Chain A
Amino acid sequence: MTSHNKTTEPFWWGLFSVGGVVAAFLVPIHLILNGLAIPLGWISVSPASMAALVRHPLVKIYLFVLIALPLYHWAHRFRFILEDLGLHGMRTPLAILCYGAAIVGTVLTIWVLLSL
């Protein structure tokens, strides 16, 4: 029997990986759609049809995956960026800060999606 309790790194790396896949596949098209196409009027959407779209339970699940998972991708990468830029010896506080922020973001995402 092997001990895996030594470190939780594999868990966060797993989340980082999944978040990275989600971000790689989905973020560019949404940047184009939500960030450029709709504001610039290439595609016209009324608030009513937008609201109707996001109220669909499958769409809510999709939005949760889209928003919450890449936050863990960011948290893991950002934590290592800070370490690579010289903040050594602060592993635990940095981890709490970064993963904590991702967890807060996840909770907020769930809250917003439930209130739609």
Chain B
Amino acid sequence: MMVNGTPKLTCSAFLRDYHPGPIRVEPLANFPVVRDLAVALDDFMEKLLRVKPWLIRTVEKPLAEGEYRQTPAQLEQFKQFSMCINCMLCYAACPVYGLAPAFVGPAAIALAYRYNLDSRDEGYRLREPVLSDAVGVWECTFVGECSVVCPKGVDPAAAIQRSKVAGAKDWFTSVLMPWGGRK
């Protein structure tokens, strides 16, 4: 919800911090309001599915071969972005999402980035069309408010900008070297 105009998890917004008040509670911004403080989450849910936020393997290892191993250093590469709790505060904070609801949005892109960085994942090429679309990372103008309001320190803004760098590199290599293969 919005507390005094700021996207906030009301379960961790304490009256003592807003004393003496007044406190204004509103439905989460940038989402269609169903009634009172309830908003329709469909758009976010659809975008979440669109980026395929799960480990994708070209060929799954059989159980007998054991777990997918990962070093602590490999975990560090994406751990921060795995902290997302899908609270959608970042969507409420993002003016681009407010102005252009087709924008895939901070959380979805951050999660796509999280899985792309996961050493166990092989799904980059499946997520890439979503990110490289015009309403993907390129809609973002790096306002940065998403990272400010995120209660888990995910820093989706960083994920998006790094995805832009990767996306631009991909684009330029594909244009300058169309015969080249990519991962």
Chain A residues near B (Cβ < 8 Å): 2-4, 6-7, 9-11, 13-14, 17, 80, 83-84, 86, 88
Tell yes or no: B44 within 8 A of A by CB.
Answer: no
4 nearest A-B pairs in the assembled complex, by CB-CB distance:
A10-B171, A9-B138, A7-B134, A10-B168
Taking CB atoms, residues of chain B closer than 8 Å to A88 are 99-100
B174 A13 Cβ-Cβ under 8 A = no
Which residue of B has the minimal Cβ distance to A15?
B168
Which secondary structure dominates where chain A touches chain B? helix
Indicate whether A10 sits within 8 Å of B167 (C-beta atoms), given known contacts A84-B141, A88-B99, A88-B100. yes
Tell yes or no: B95 within 8 A of A by CB.
Answer: yes
Fill in one digit per residue for B55-73: 1 if any A CB lies within 8 Å of its CB, else 0. Answer: 0000000000000000000
Indicate whether A14 sits within 8 Å of B133 (C-beta atoms), given known contacts A80-B141, A88-B100. no
CB distance from B130 to the nearest CB of A (A): 11
Tell yes or no: B128 within 8 A of A by CB.
Answer: yes
Which one of A4, A17, A80 contacts B174 once the chains associate, using CB atoms below 8 Å?
Answer: A4
